[in-house]
Chains A and B, each alone.
Chain A
Amino acid sequence: MDISIYQHIWFFIIGFLLTVYSILDGFDLGIASLMPALAKNEKEQKQVMDSIWPVWDGNEVWLITGGAALFAAFPFAYATVFSGFYLALMLVLFALIFRAVSMEFWYYNETRRKVWAWAFTIGSVLPALLFGVALGNVIYGIPLDLNMNFTGNFFTLLRPFPLVIGLLGLSAILLQGCTWAAYKIEGDVAKRAKSFMNKIIIANAVLFILAIALTIALLPSIVSNVFGWLGALTYAIALSYVHVSNRGNRPFNAFIGSSISFVSLWIMAGAALYPNLVRSTIEAYNLTIFNASSTQLTLKIMFIIALIGMPIVIAYTMYVYKIFKGKIS
């Protein structure tokens, strides 16, 4: 097979890994971000944590694997983005450290539960926001030089378009968390999640429309992409479905709707980027799946590894989710 086939395959596999990551870790990050609004006492905080405790670290592995796959398949894109977004990614790391340990510390360090509950929430809000900002930047275009190096600074990353994408990503993650809370937890937490959900749906819709408007205004070249519009259509339907399901008291359906809306966002992001991985403000310096990739042999071996490994991962992950089916009371 020609190398470009593998380059395409890896564009899709990484997209797949990040999509599953945002669905699964999305509900972890989302419910943690919403904890101050959902849980009013330590018992309810424990319910929130119990709803994700057995699965959160497995969920985070989708990010770790997605990052490693990007490194292995497109090392030039990995190197450019990670070094270019240095301070922002350090912030993500500090946050992820705290969110990873905060549950254990909350559980055992009873006298400082307030601190660890906030660490849990802030450690989740920050990555939820910054992942989208980073994605918004590589879609919108960042200043790159001839050597694929980022020439902007921290504030370059905070332009309006990436910020809107960041907020859209955050609100999508909040929706994942909110629908998960409504589905997984019984009692007052679920009630609050249900009444809160409409506000988040509205936030999603407003930010989505804003993002579309900005895309039309700022990125005219990608407006004609059919897959992008198909994604937008699915998104609109899925978001409405979340609303209808919530009103009809079917929290699991709402969660599925929210997950599909997230998939749609990734389809749009993929359509907006393809075949680029990192758009440059100077088009000639774009990092694409062609100029940023590893060699054919590496891509091929990695593909075999993924082909053997991923179906097994998906099978036992589904099995373990089944084990922990049922509501937290």
Chain B
Amino acid sequence: MDVVMLSRIQFGLAAGVHFIFPSLTLGLTLLVLLLEYKFYKTNDELFKTVSSFFIKMLGLVFALGVATGIVLEFSFGTNWAEYSRMVGDIFGAPLAAEGIFAFFMESVFLGVLLFGRNKVSKKVYLLSAFLVFFGSHLSGLWIIIANSWMQTPAGFAIEGGRAVLTDFFAAALNPSTLVRYAHVIIAGWISGSLFAAGVAAWYLIKQQHTKEAQTILKTAIIIFCIMSLVQFVSGHIHSVQVTNLQPEKMATFEALWETQKGAPMSIIGIPVESEKKTYFEIKIPKLLSLLAYFDPDAEVKGRDAFPEDELPPVLLPYFSYHIMIGLGSLFALISLIGLFLLLRKKLFDAKWFLYVLVFAIPLPIIANEFGWIAAEVGRQPWAVYKVLKTVDAVSTIVPASHVLLSLIIFSFIYLLLIVLFITILLKIIKKGPQAESY
């Protein structure tokens, strides 16, 4: 394999593993903030116990997020030196701003959440919970700014062979930043809330920590239900944006081989790129045109409208995109059932539904990963859309053998991290919410 492919796999692995942790962090910090607020208002120790339980897990999730996150920051220089030279004038700034404005705040006040319960007043503790929540969400914004600039670059000019900043706000708030930010934040809230709901459901099935579990489940299921419905809206807006600004990406997601009026939406099928055909396809006529342009007969560009060397591969983006949407639909279904049971006050007794929640715990993470794969592989062959190709972004002096070596070691390390992460998480869950924290 050549150095470009190896570097892509290594970056994909590093970012993919990392992405598990910040998305959980987003959801958990929201939950902790809500629980701390309730504790502050009601003085009911129950909220404190439950919150401390999640703070413990947040500590673990965060440590893994830091460990895997620093790899990414180094990677732009180690593996993508030409990228760094070409777009560093624009791309470095959001990363630095993330550190200065957000990551410091998140890390420093997480220390207070983890170890300062008895050292600060209740007000300061609540404020710390807010700052960890705020910091992690602001941190996400800067990272999405950087990533969105790769998707829909703006606010720059090409001078002397490199991209230079001409308008900071145009670059930061490029056409896809806000919708992608909303999409990712909601995905994080879905991940964190379903995780919490699943844990609580498990306690209810086992008839342990019943009071705590009911508190968790009620808060978590409300967040989950609202967010998985809202995610449909944000997903839709995002799809429209992609159709307009990266049409070859949408054509690939839908395996739309030919430009056509009244384009159908592909539900499932097996696209074969070499034959430009989708086998066993189930599709809904005119739906893609309708969703993208609010007109069932509107013309949607197919892959044939673009030069061959500017098209992404089909198979991986197609399946990633469809798996994400499939899971999103499943979450909406679970939400509706959950809301129904909640309103009928049967949520805590519907054992089958509690099992559903437990088994659904990993699904949002999987949906996040596939959504991200669709977005990134769907942008190929570009590193920065229409500005810099991935093959031209790689470090020219790092030999393939070095990347292979580091990739093998990373694979082992990440496998170990994930196994240990799950083991320890299960251990914390088994121990359950308890009045003291470590």
* CB of B428 within 8 Å of the partner chain: yes
A297 touches B78 (CB 8 A): no
**Which residues of A are found within 8 Å of B108, using beta-carbon distances?**
55, 58, 61, 316-317, 320
Q: Which residue in chain A gives the minimum CB-CB distance to B431?
A: A108
Of A86-94, A178-186, A229-237, the segment with at least 4 beta carbons within 8 Å of chain B is A86-94
B78 touches A82 (CB 8 A): yes
Which of A84, A87, A108 is the most central at the interface, judged by chain B CB atoms within 10 Å of its CB? Answer: A108
Are A54 and B74 also in contact (CB < 8 A) when A68-B92, A149-B397 are? no
**Which of A65, A83, A93 meets B99, CB within 8 Å?**
A65
Q: Which residue in chain A gives the minimum CB-CB distance to B99?
A: A65
Which of A68, A301, A324 is the most central at the interface, judged by chain B CB atoms within 10 Å of its CB? Answer: A68
**Which of B96, B101, B112 meets A71, CB within 8 Å?**
B96
Chain A binding surface SS class: helix
**Which residues of B are found within 8 Å of A302, using beta-carbon distances?**
93, 96-97
Of B163-171, B282-290, B295-303, the segment with at least 4 beta carbons within 8 Å of chain A is B163-171
Please provide the chain A residues from 299 to 329 with a CB less than 8 Å away from any CB of chain B in the complex.
301-302, 305-306, 309-310, 313, 316-317, 320, 323-324
Which of B67, B68, B103, B164 is the most central at the interface, judged by chain A CB atoms within 10 Å of its CB? Answer: B67
CA A306 – CA B101 in complex, angstroms? 9
A97 touches B111 (CB 8 A): no
CA A8 – CA B62 in complex, angstroms? 35
**Which of A72, A83, A96 meets B81, CB within 8 Å?**
A83
A57 touches B100 (CB 8 A): no
Q: Which residue in chain B gives the minimum CB-CB distance to A123?
A: B67
B59 touches A83 (CB 8 A): no
**Which of B93, B99, B396, B398 meets A301, CB within 8 Å?**
B93
* CB of A210 within 8 Å of the partner chain: no
**Which residues of A are found within 8 Å of B406, using beta-carbon distances?**
86-87, 90
* CB of A107 within 8 Å of the partner chain: yes
Are A68 and B112 also in contact (CB < 8 A) when A94-B409, A100-B67 are? no
CA A76 – CA B88 in complex, angstroms? 8
Q: Which residue in chain B gives the minimum CB-CB distance to A85?
A: B78
CA A87 – CA B403 in complex, angstroms? 9
CA A294 – CA B88 in complex, angstroms? 7
B107 touches A57 (CB 8 A): yes
* CB of A12 within 8 Å of the partner chain: no
**Which of A53, A79, A109, A148 meets B88, CB within 8 Å?**
A79
A320 touches B96 (CB 8 A): no
**Which residues of B are found within 8 Å of A101, using beta-carbon distances?**
63-64, 67, 417, 420
**Which residues of A are found within 8 Å of B103, using beta-carbon distances?**
61, 64-65
CA A309 – CA B92 in complex, angstroms? 16
A64 touches B413 (CB 8 A): no
* B side interface size, CB within 8 A: 68
* CB of A60 within 8 Å of the partner chain: yes
* CB of B349 within 8 Å of the partner chain: no
B110 touches A57 (CB 8 A): yes
B98 touches A68 (CB 8 A): yes
Are A82 and B417 also in contact (CB < 8 A) when A93-B74, A108-B424, A323-B112 are? no
Which of A72, A73, A297 is the most central at the interface, judged by chain B CB atoms within 10 Å of its CB? Answer: A72
**Which residues of A are found within 8 Å of B101, using beta-carbon distances?**
305, 309
A68 touches B96 (CB 8 A): yes
Distance in angstroms from A10 CB to nearest chain B CB is 10
**Which residues of B are found within 8 Å of A297, using beta-carbon distances?**
164-166, 168
A54 touches B78 (CB 8 A): no
Please provide the chain B residues from 101 to 127 with a CB less than 8 Å away from any CB of chain A in the complex.
101, 103-105, 107-112, 114-116, 119-120
Please provide the chain B residues from 162 to 197 with a CB less than 8 Å away from any CB of chain A in the complex.
164-166, 168
Please provide the chain B residues from 394 to 418 with a CB less than 8 Å away from any CB of chain A in the complex.
395-398, 402, 405-406, 409, 413, 417
**Which residues of B are found within 8 Å of A172, using beta-carbon distances?**
none
Distance in angstroms from A111 CB to nearest chain B CB is 11
Are A294 and B70 also in contact (CB < 8 A) when A57-B111, A108-B427 are? no
Q: A96-B70, A97-B417 are in contact. List 11 more A-B contacts (CB 8 A).
A: A68-B99, A69-B99, A72-B92, A75-B85, A79-B88, A79-B395, A83-B395, A96-B67, A108-B428, A109-B423, A309-B97
8 contacts between A and B (CB under 8 A): A58-B107, A72-B93, A90-B78, A92-B74, A100-B63, A107-B438, A301-B93, A323-B112
Residues in chain B within 8 A of chain A (CB atoms): 59-60, 62-64, 66-71, 73-74, 76-79, 81-82, 84-85, 88-93, 95-101, 103-105, 107-112, 114-116, 119-120, 164-166, 168, 395-398, 402, 405-406, 409, 413, 417, 420, 423-424, 427-428, 438
